Chain A
């Protein structure tokens, strides 16, 4: 059972890190944060489809 639990566990790579002056961030975390900021800005500026139909 314990063997099966870990059987699919592939070794995890070290990941890609970006850093500037003592600040480092892993690529996945950076991507998620950037995506959230883009979605936030788009939610404010994009018109809502069908919104004009409503009086």
Chain B
């Protein structure tokens, strides 16, 4: 094979010389998301604001939802619907869902009012929308797993809508076993995958600057996403007062 021409372990590889799909994929990934963009040490000074915290708040609550959900699933309903410790863990699962949605909605309001889809960040916004929708379906199946009168009410209110859109045969709200599978495997994996994509996209593009930031702002030039993207349209000239840089 190409043993003589292949560089040894640790030798620098000429990135323009990718001739396999793995090499091309690596080159593409490194160009889109170089390690210093994936795990940066500095952020522009405008990121020091509560407006940028709620996404992480949603991730924090999601982590507890997943940890407590694993504990619930492994112990089963005989535990979480009967024992007091089980009920307690069940309650922390529910309350972290409440926090998750509260943080997510405040996050979405904040990103809406700063038009955070600017500068090629549309896909970040869209993955946010998808995570919102998938999270609602996940929460819906969770409420059905309460198996009390509330869930019975919710299930039979939803049944007609699900039948009307033609998915009732595959997504059957009256089948607790099937709902359990949706709730503990497919939907959490879907929420997790969309959130990972969402956060990677935030890292690819860098954090959206405030609306009043000037195009000439030194921090924005420093944080400009890769050359694959056109620069944002110039902001009005009155917004050109200089800003400090972090370094």
A interface secondary structure, majority: helix
Q: Does B171 contact A (CB under 8 A)?
A: no
Say whether A43 contacts B110, CB under 8 Å: yes
**Residues of A with C-beta under 8 A to B77:** 4-5, 8
**Residues of B with C-beta under 8 A to A43:** 49-51, 53-54, 106, 110
Interface residues on A, range: 20 to 34
Say whether A7 contacts B81, CB under 8 Å: yes
Q: Does A22 contact B (CB under 8 A)?
A: no
Task: State how many residues of chain B have any CB contact under 8 Å with chain A.
Answer: 29
Bound CA span A47–B110, Å: 16
16 more contacts with CB within 8 A, not counting A9-B148, A54-B246, A55-B246, are A4-B81, A5-B176, A7-B81, A8-B82, A9-B149, A10-B148, A12-B149, A36-B105, A36-B106, A43-B54, A43-B106, A43-B110, A48-B48, A50-B48, A51-B49, A55-B245
Can you list 14 A-B contacts (CB < 8 A)?
A4-B81, A5-B77, A5-B147, A11-B148, A12-B148, A32-B101, A32-B102, A40-B110, A42-B50, A43-B51, A44-B50, A44-B51, A46-B50, A55-B246
Binding site for A on B (CB under 8 A): 45, 48-51, 53-54, 77-78, 80-82, 87, 98, 101-102, 105-106, 109-110, 146-150, 176, 244-246
